Structure 1
Amino acid sequence: MTLSSIRKKNPLVHCITNYVVANFTANGLLATGASPVMADEMEEVEEMVSIANGLLINLGTVNVRTLESMMIAGKKANELNIPVVLDPVGVGATKYRQRAIKDILEKVNVQLIRCNMGELATIAEVEWQGRGVDSGNGDMDLPTVAKQVAIKYNCLVAVTGSKDFLTDGYLEYWTVGGHELMTQVTGTGCLLSALSAAALTLEGNPLSNLCELFMDYKRVAELASDHLLLGTFQEEIINSIHLLSRGGKQWTLS
């Protein structure tokens, strides 16, 4: 399992993320044995990313200052061959976010875009009805569009939902399972992006490692759903990540 592999490696993941999810993301990474650092000051991000193993750029509460920090850190990560994960939270909500994503994708080489369908549609400039950071709805051939974006930006693309789709532009994989409560608490997608940054530091094929991680994360949701009270569900996500990363409750897909 990828979660247990992350525990063995103990990567340092530099997260420039949003303040809504920072604590949950840090605790989720710690539950795998990874080491999180949340640093977005322009004066230090180059130095911080230089000692990290992976970088997460999350647009959730982006502003002018943090966008500049993302650009500086991303370019430095590219220089040092450190994998960069881009989570374009709510990119379809405003013109500012759309300009920010275009700027990042033009100037930073990202290894993975982890998004929902609405965010993918915005990046691909496909017509879509979104609402804030929600996925929204529309008519889109998901595999085709995801592959086009992967090829255009020379990166992996992972689109999460009731079923997750992962591609390098040519190969494609689906993961199934999970639980709908994952959409009813903040930060579950953002944490998956951070865990993806950790997974991209591992040896082996990046796409295969991500597929295993996404299957692990579906299992995390299923284990956490044994506790159906919404307030405790988020806590059980952390508990389940910790359990699976330590080799508990092994599972296989049929």
Structure 2
Amino acid sequence: MLSRHHVAPELLGDALAGLHAHPPLVQCLTNVVAAQWTANILLAVGASPAMVDNPDEAGGFAAVAGGVLINLGTPQHDTAAAMAQAATGAAAAGTPWVLDPVGAGGLPWRTRVALDLLSRSAPAIIRGNASEILGLSGGEGGKGVDSEHTAEAALGAAAELAREHGSVVAVSGAVDHLTDGRRVVRVANGTELLTRVTGTGCALGALMAGFCAVVEDPLLAATAATATLTVAAEEAAGRSRGPGGFAVALLDELALITPAVLAERTRLS
């Protein structure tokens, strides 16, 4: 039975203040489409990105990073090997890591890669769209990387997945649903323009890894990251004419957002 968890808005502000005070080093093993964008998103909030994604260095670097993102957007055999090394290295060092199982359920090979990573160690957070979370739980998933399900529809599967692995599962959607298998938080901020710029979900996974480096509770870390991105996105949408201007404005707003603004404007339930 899931219970609605009330996250005090000031805790979100405290999390952002902690990230600003102690900028985390975030290792990103991510897809080629989103690598630069993800690095820029991290830099905008004050974190330090490190795109260390080869098998010879990934495991060792995961041991010294503050947080690790493993994103299956464009996996190759060598990067999959690096991901396995990073997950193992992170587990051995106690480094929190985030799994973004892009295309899980819809694409069989990467689904197997994701399940192999989960068998190696439990991520602090699993982040995906509803179809990816359902696919990771044994469902059909979506077509490629597109979601065919709502976040609400995937909440039961997300809670099961969270309990199975001892992780927080964050399901992106019009309203984001986040659960650790017992508690559930909903974040209702955002804008349709987030779906018109590639890599925003990938960057959200990196933000979650960054917040995990400075916040002990992974559910709070995932919520703070989601709120930071979506509140900044609302501000950016208000002064943009389209996706191109929005992308630039989003980086600006992420650099400008304050703990007080985050606490005031996040819509939680």
TM-score class normalised by the smaller sequence: over 0.9
CA distance in 2, matches of 1:245, 1:35: 18
TM-score after normalising by structure 1: 0.93
C-alpha distance in 1, partners of 2:111/2:24?
Answer: 31
Partner of 2:159: 147
* SS of the residue 1:131 aligns to: coil
Partner in structure 1 of residue 224 of structure 2: 212
2:92 is matched with 79
Note closer, same or farther for the CA distance 1:207–1:228 as it changes in structure 2 (3 Å cut).
Answer: same
Selected match of 1:197 from 203, 209, 214 = 209
1:173 and 2:191 correspond: no
Helix, strand or coil: the match of 2:119? helix
1:65 aligns with 2:82: no
Distance 1:219 1:253, change over 3 A: closer
CA-CA distance at 1:31 after TM superposition: 0.8
Q: Which residue of 1 is the match for residue 170 of structure 2?
A: 158
Aligned pairs for 1:1-254 (under 5 A) are: 1=13, 2-128=15-141, 130-137=142-149, 141-226=153-238, 227-245=240-258, 251-253=264-266
- Using the alignment, how far apart are the partners of 1:77 and 1:197 within structure 2? 12
Q: Give the SS at the match of 1:134.
A: coil
Shift of 1:250: 6.4
Q: Which 10-residue stretch deviates more, 154-163 or 224-233?
A: 224-233
CA–CA distance in 2 between the matches of 1:139 and 1:182?
Answer: 16
Contact kept, 8 Å, 1:7 with 1:245, in 2: the verdict is no
Report if the CA contact (8 A) 1:3-1:244 is conserved: no
Structure 1 spans left out of the alignment, 5+ residues: none
Q: Which one is further off, 134-143 or 111-120?
A: 134-143
Give the Å deviation of 1:204. Answer: 4.1
> 2 CA distance for matches of 1:173 and 1:140?
12
Cα distance change of structure 1 residues 65 and 249 upon mapping to structure 2, 3 Å threshold:
closer
Unaligned runs of 5+ in 2: 1-12
Number of residue pairs matched?
A: 253
**For the Cα contact (< 8 Å) 1:127–1:138, is it kept in 2?**
no
Cα distance per residue 1:13-38 (max 9 Å; x no partner): 00011110000100110111110000
Secondary structure (helix, strand or coil) at the match of 1:210 reads: helix
Q: CA RMSD in A?
A: 1.9
Q: Are the counterparts in 2 of residues 4 and 244 from structure 1 also a CA contact under 8 Å?
A: no
Question: Which region of structure 1 is more displaced relative to structure 2, 9-18 or 206-215?
Answer: 206-215
Distance 1:238 1:141, change over 3 A: same
Cα offset, 1:236, TM superposition: 1.2
C-alpha contact 1:244 1:250 (8 A) present in aligned 2: no
Residues 83 and 111, structure 1, Cα contact 8 Å, conserved in 2: yes
Cα separation, 2, equivalents of 1:193 and 1:249: 18
Is contact 2:151-2:177 (8 Å) kept? no
Identity of aligned residues (%): 35
Return 192-201 or 1-10, whichever deviates more. 1-10
In 2, the alpha carbon distance for the partners of 1:47 and 1:139 equals 35
TM-score normalised by the chain length of structure 2: 0.88
